[in-house]
Structure 1
Amino acid sequence: MNGPQAHWLEDGRRLHLNHGPIDLIIEAFGDASECRAAYGQAVARFQTILSELVEELPELRRPASLRPHAFAGPTARRMEAAVNPLAEQFITPMAAVAGSVADEMLGALLAGRRLDRAYVNNGGDSAIHLGNGRSMTLAIAGTGHGLADRITIRAEDGISGVATSGWRGRSFSLGIADAVT
């Protein structure tokens, strides 16, 4: 198995991090030195995120419980917290893996940094940071219109993540839809 990979996309603005099933596109906006430091922090955090999840994988695949597990890793704890409200039904923390990885990586990107905006896209599950008065326009894939469909999120909306699921994707879906965001 190849280890964590990090490289810049052709546009020179977006960082691509890949390791096994984790495939991230990251972009930070703001002062150039702050962005450089943030990208370095993200690359450093990415080195262990998959191995941490693999260590706890058997427990992460078990049904969620109203009694919390004692997960060691912060991403596993995020996953559990995301599914606990649904623990009376059958769901495992794995239902929240993509968004939790995106959230963990955004946290690493932002730690001690002053960025205007940033995002971590993990295959359609995206974590978003918007500074005061900032906004971000996102393309919504899978709607049948290519990437022509867009939404704009403003800092005052209080939205820090977006996920799109559909019948062709790998995300958890309870029905058949081209895309639900």
Structure 2
Amino acid sequence: MDGPQAHWLQDGKRLHLNHGPIDLIIEAFGEAQECRLAYEQAVSRFQTILIELVRELPELRLPAFFLAPRAFDSPTARRMEAAVMPLAECFITPMAAVAGSVADEILAALLADRKLERAYVNNGGDSALHLGKGRSIGLAVAGTGNGVADRITIRAEDGVRGVATSGWRGRSFSLGIADAVTVLARTGAEADAAATLIANAVDLPGNPAIKRIPARELSPDSDLGARLVTQGVGTLAPGEVARALDNGLAVAEDFRRRGLIAGSALFLGGEARISGSVALAAPNKNPREEVAHA
């Protein structure tokens, strides 16, 4: 595996950082010198983040326990553990929050002692956001074509600083059948962990139209072990789609009532469910607004 890589994208505005499975797009807004220093700080922090996680990977792949938080050495691993602890009444490992936690960690490095108007770190669709007072940022949301606009706007006063998307079509394994579940939360790590569990809950256990395979057959070292992960979803009746979405919505609403997320959008088979903030259904009226993809 090559070492950490950093380069500018063709637009000259966005920084691309890559190391193994970590693939980040970063953009900062503000005074040029502040942005330059912020990017340098992000690149510096990125040099060791994967190495740190690999050292603690065996423990990170073990389930979290509601009453027994573990003490990890890496700050990113600690972010992962903190994000899944409130959800540990069911099976979840810190790996459910890895992408969002990496985004949070790099964003923290980007912002350290800097004065930026806005910034985002996008880790394969799971993003951490910074918004100065009175600022906003646009998000492109997965699951378009389901009756929900593909652009939303997050304002500084909303308190949302993380957005994540999960589903069986994504880059990580899912126990459910959601085409996509997008979650807004206080941090990228919290959004990532919640999106994982909500997407798992969008499901029809035992339905013959769903193809499932033990996770370890696809990836021997998966934290999901023998649990069945979705590999294909056949034709579902409209009533079945609605039932699966309602199963996921019940979990999303529980998380929202507990203050764990700000809102979510669930997509399956051309249908959608919205929990929380109506901003998830609002179109972005400014097509020139900078967009971070979710």
TM-score of the aligned structures, taking structure 2 as reference length:
0.59
Which residue matches 1:74? 75
Considering only CA atoms, is the larger Rg found in Structure 1 or Structure 2?
2
Q: Which whole-Å deviations, capped at 9, do the CAs of 1:62-100 have from their partners, x for residues lacking one?
A: 110221112001000000000001222111000000000
Which residue matches 2:156? 155
> Any gaps of 5 or more consecutive residues in structure 2?
183-294
Q: d(CA) in 2 for partners of 1:57 and 1:180?
A: 26
The CA deviation at 1:118 is 0.1
1:139 partnered with 2:146: no
Q: How does 1:14-163 map to 2 (within 5 A)?
A: 14-65=14-65, 66-144=67-145, 149-163=150-164
Q: d(CA) in 2 for partners of 1:93 and 1:172?
A: 14
Contact 1:143–1:179 (CA under 8 A) maintained in structure 2 = no
Stretches (4+) displaced over 4 A = 171-174
1:178 partnered with 2:179: yes
The CA deviation at 1:173 is 4.5
Partner-residue secondary structure (3-state), 1:68: coil
Partner-residue secondary structure (3-state), 2:86: helix
Partner-residue secondary structure (3-state), 2:2: coil
Contact 1:63–1:93 (CA under 8 A) maintained in structure 2 = yes
Q: Which whole-Å deviations, capped at 9, do the CAs of 1:26-46 have from their partners, x for residues lacking one?
A: 000000000000000000000
Q: Report percent identity of matched pairs.
A: 83
Contact 1:138–1:152 (CA under 8 A) maintained in structure 2 = yes
Alpha-carbon RMSD across the aligned residues, in angstroms, is 1.4
Q: d(CA) in 1 for partners of 2:68 and 2:95?
A: 17
TM-score of the aligned structures, taking structure 1 as reference length:
0.94
Contact 1:98–1:122 (CA under 8 A) maintained in structure 2 = yes
Partner-residue secondary structure (3-state), 1:71: coil
